[in-house]
Amino acid sequence: MEIIEIITFHLNNLEEVLEVSFRTNSDGEDLMRESKIPFMDISDFGYRFHEESSDSFLNEEDENFYDEFEDDDLFVDENEILSFLNEYYVLFSDKLPKPEIF
């Protein structure tokens, strides 16, 4: 089993979970899987995409530009999430959600 596509994702800071829907290589195009993974589990695997990035390198003009965006998910590297999910579900295959009709 390999996760080949992330359909949607959201970093839910209130609940401290990654909400993600994805498709594996064994799922058809009409199927997807949905999961919520705690930030603690993400940190345990050494990933930091759920943490706020340091803005110390931004100048004032950059800060004004980025303030226009409320959704930090826009700046998360989807490939990093994909890599994490593949590692996570190799170790925790029992947590892999069942496919649902999309």
Give pLDDT, residue 89.
98
Residue 51 is classified by DSSP as S
DSSP, collapsed to helix, strand or coil, labels residue 29 as coil
The model's pTM is: 0.79
Nearest to 3 by CA among 83, 65, 102: 83
Per-residue pLDDT of the chain (102 residues; tens, 9 = 90+): 899 999 999 999 999 999 999 999 999 999 999 999 999 999 999 998 877 654 444 555 554 444 444 455 557 899 999 999 999 999 999 999 999 998
CA distance 41 to 81: 13
Give pLDDT, residue 53.
53
CA distance 62 to 35: 34
If one counts the domains in the chain, the total is 1
How many residues are recorded in the chain?
102
DSSP, collapsed to helix, strand or coil, labels residue 2 as coil
The domain in which residue 18 lies consists of: 3-101
| 17, containing H or E segment | strand 17-24
